[in-house]
A and B are shown apart, each in its own frame.
Chain A
């Protein structure tokens, strides 16, 4: 630890009382937070090691100027011969008239000044798909209904799977069958997800790296349900849609809230998870937190703009 700077008022009785009470205070940050912080730092350190060394600020203009000059020379070498035409000795050629120059220009192969229409079309839907990945805000009436029902003891029935999505019924049911006590125990959460933690982490990493977006989304939901921040950190380091939905329309954030996974909730929100994304039944993360009586999570969600 660094020595105290000069001029500080040294320990008195209060310092001593404070220190003694602090030593006996068993309060600690959660293990999940510690893991998330260290995993994040490790990932950034690895990225720094692989990144090319940064150039000094003053010299930044030089590569750009050199590149521009080289591109200009290259363009001149390519364009000038095509303007001159083959087999005509340059010294014997008379100065060209304006009409001849125009004709030459018309004969010369035209460099594509802008992308072909096919390129434009290819890039268009991609960006639209990305935009479509961000879920629209739920209709106001749905969360309002969910909140009203959440205040009553039978509110959990609100989270029952949609009849319209039979394939999702079993999975959605398994998420909500977990009581808060169960959800807080990592070994039991492994049982919920149906895979040992290490295997889940490996599968999630693989899903994030080189598989279909659906698999990455599935891994994200499983990581959120298990509260496995290491898995989430790995997945979110890849280009993953943090607001991807499962068959019941749930985002990973909603799943994490349903399981009371504080660190996972914080991580998903930090990566831009939509705090207002409701599932197919209209249940928002805030409504789910209230239904669980999870005041702290509700507060965190509100801070991130949940309504």
Chain B
């Protein structure tokens, strides 16, 4: 019988008390989830890289302010979402996620230039990941955001609703539409 892995909240608490190793474990556990959330919402790798830094800097800075008894993942993704919205607002004035232009091309270009995979595998990866990227890009911004929060953050409908400041019913219907549309789009590309 193996010990259960230490919870995110415990790791954050240890980091708040000065244990740098705990932060590294936390970072590695959530790195790809946060990255995919940022990149797939922003549709731009350079912006996602910059936001990634900002998000984790904020986590490190505010670790001591984390409210005991709450869950880490919603807190983390709320920070990520706020940073992303700030970035979008700076890019355009009075912009909602609905209006964010989705730049799928750079992501697909990165996939084609990935050096660690062979040419045939690269074609398959490009097709599948490109299909996913295109499908996400075709979703309305608020639906994409809600779906990514749920898929990457593993958040409940209630948590997504709280982070996006929407009602439970609105969030639920956004998620339902997003899933239906994504299923159709992915089947088309499969």
Residues of A within 8 A of B (CB): 1-2, 4-9, 12-15, 17-22, 24-30, 33-34, 36-38, 40-42, 44-46, 48-49, 262-263, 266-267, 270, 296-297, 299-300, 302-304
Contact, CB under 8 Å: B157 / A7: yes
- The answer to whether B46 and A299 touch across the interface, beta carbons within 8 angstroms, is yes
Give residues in B with beta carbon < 8 Å to A: 5, 7-8, 15-20, 23-24, 27, 29, 31-32, 35-36, 39, 44-50, 52-54, 56-57, 60-61, 64, 71-73, 87, 90-91, 106-107, 110-111, 114, 116-117, 124-125, 128-129, 131-132, 150-151, 154-159, 175, 179, 182-183, 186, 190
Residues of A within 8 A of B20 (CB): 38, 41-42, 45-46
B60 touches A48 (CB 8 A): no
A-chain residues with CB within 8 Å of residue B64 when the two chains form the complex = 48
Q: Is the interface of A mostly helix, strand, loop or mixed?
A: helix
Q: Select from chain A the residue with minimum beta-carbon distance to B148.
A: A18
Residues of B within 8 A of A267 (CB): 53
| C-alpha gap A20/B183 in the complex (Å) | 13
- Can you pick out 10 interface pairs between chain A and chain B where the beta carbons lie within 8 Å of each other? A2-B7, A12-B179, A26-B110, A26-B116, A26-B117, A27-B39, A41-B56, A41-B60, A45-B20, A262-B50
Do B46 and A18 touch across chains, with their CB atoms under 8 A apart? no
A24 vs B39: C-alpha distance when bound (angstroms): 15
Q: B48–A29 contact, CB under 8 A?
A: yes
Residue with the highest number of chain A CB atoms closer than 10 Å, among B50, B71, B110, B131? B50
Indicate whether A48 sits within 8 Å of B27 (C-beta atoms), given known contacts A266-B50, A300-B47. Answer: no
Chain B residues with Cβ under 8 A from A41's Cβ?
15, 20, 23-24, 27, 56, 60
- A302→B92 CA distance, assembly (Å): 10
Q: Which residues of B contact A20 (CB under 8 A)?
A: 128
A28:B60 contact, CB within 8 angstroms: no
- Residue in B18, B29, B60, B155 whose beta carbon sits within 8 Å of that of A40 in the complex: B60
Contact call A48/B54, Cβ cutoff below 8 A: no
- Whether A2 contacts B56 by the Cβ 8 Å rule is no
Whether B156 contacts A14 by the Cβ 8 Å rule is no
Q: How far is the CB of A13 from chain B (nearest CB, A)?
A: 6
